Amino acid sequence: MNTSQVKIMGIVNITPDSFYSGNRFMYVEDALNQIQKHIEEGADIIDLGAQSTRPNATMIDPDTEFKRLYPILNEVKNLPLSISIDTFYAQVAEKCLSIREVWINDISGGNIDSNMLPFVFHHKPTYIWTHSRGTPNTMQTLTDYHDVANEVYRAALNFITQANAHHFTRYIIDVGFGFAKTIKQNFELIQNFEKFQLLNAPLLVGVSRKSMVYKTLNTTPENALNGTTVLHTLLLLKGANILRVHDVRAAKEVIDILSQI
């Protein structure tokens, strides 16, 4: 298997309420230590998030989000590594881009802030479009699909059509595991994941320690690494290009093993 183009995105959550207790870094020094750890273990991208997007999370405003992000981003502004900002606010994206080049990782796919897609199409940062519905507080009530894989595919294709119309090509597609989807629907997406290669776009997957893993195994996020590794292996075999993870070393080991096949 050719894994030379597979990338690892290491998660750094600057929030007090991330669903996984092992990835909450409200202090600058702790966040910087985690960034260094991710880099040493093989991360290609660091994803900074200052707002919890777990189901039923309470949204914070753009100013509060940026105040959490700023001291960390300022410290890594010269880091020779891709930095991603997990935000759905165009205002936050703009402020972060004024500090250094960053990717924008929008879990709402432009649906929460109507200014996000116009901003992205104009300024052209690398943009991760994620399939979702509603907000973190409402998404788990919006899981009515006739065929989840086909509907997510059509939504992604619609975004790509919009992007192409604006001569924007720096996009990455995330099918949105856990966002407005039941556990059964998440596994349906995995079963049909090869379909998304037809989009001819890089595919990012975020399944690390999520409820689709720990609830299926009747355990906790803290004990969901083994199940996460199983899904990472399967998704790479089905065409994933970027793994968004809490545990960089474990993800790197998956890639290294698959490279021998």
Return d(Cα 68, Cα 112) in angstroms, integer: 20
Q: What residue segments make up the domains of the chain, in order of their start?
A: 7-258
Q: How is residue 198 written in tokens?
A: 């037809």
Task: List the beta bridge partners of residue 103.
Answer: 84
Element (H, E) at 47: strand 45-49
Element (H, E) at 161: helix 148-165
* pLDDT score for 14: 87
* pLDDT score for 4: 86
Q: How far is C-alpha 121 from the geometric centre of its chain's CA atoms?
A: 20
* pLDDT score for 53: 72
Task: Determine contact, residues 106/130, Cβ cutoff 8 Å.
Answer: yes
* pLDDT score for 19: 46
Task: Determine contact, residues 241/5, Cβ cutoff 8 Å.
Answer: yes
* pLDDT score for 27: 73
Vertex 153: Cα angle to 89 and 214 (nearest 5): 75
* pLDDT score for 183: 97
Per-run averaged pLDDT (10 residues), the chain, 261 residues: 92 70 63 94 96 77 93 94 97 98 97 97 98 88 95 98 98 97 98 98 97 96 97 98 98 97 91
Return d(Cα 42, Cα 206) in angstroms, integer: 17
Q: Count of residues for the chain?
A: 261
* pLDDT score for 17: 53
Beta pairing class for 45-49 and 82-86: parallel
At the second CATH level, the architecture of 7-258 is Alpha-Beta Barrel (3.20)
Please give the mean pLDDT across all residues of the chain.
Answer: 93
* pLDDT score for 154: 98
Return d(Cα 114, Cα 232) in angstroms, integer: 32
* pLDDT score for 52: 77
Q: Is 197 helix (H, G, I), strand (E, B) or coil?
A: helix
Task: Determine contact, residues 30/59, Cβ cutoff 8 Å.
Answer: no
* Dihedral in degrees, nearest 10, Cα atoms 88, 200, 42, 126: -40
Burial of 164 (0-12, 13-18, 19+ CB in 10 A): exposed
Q: What is the DSSP string of 199-232?
A: G-S-EEE--TT-HHHHTTTTS-GGG-HHHHHHHH
Element (H, E) at 187: helix 183-191
Task: List the beta bridge partners of residue 11.
Answer: 47
Backbone angles phi, psi at 152, to 5 degrees: -65, -40
* pLDDT score for 186: 98
Return d(Cα 64, Cα 53) in angstroms, integer: 15
Q: pLDDT digits over 28-68, tens only? A: 888 899 999 999 999 999 999 998 777 667 788 999 999 99
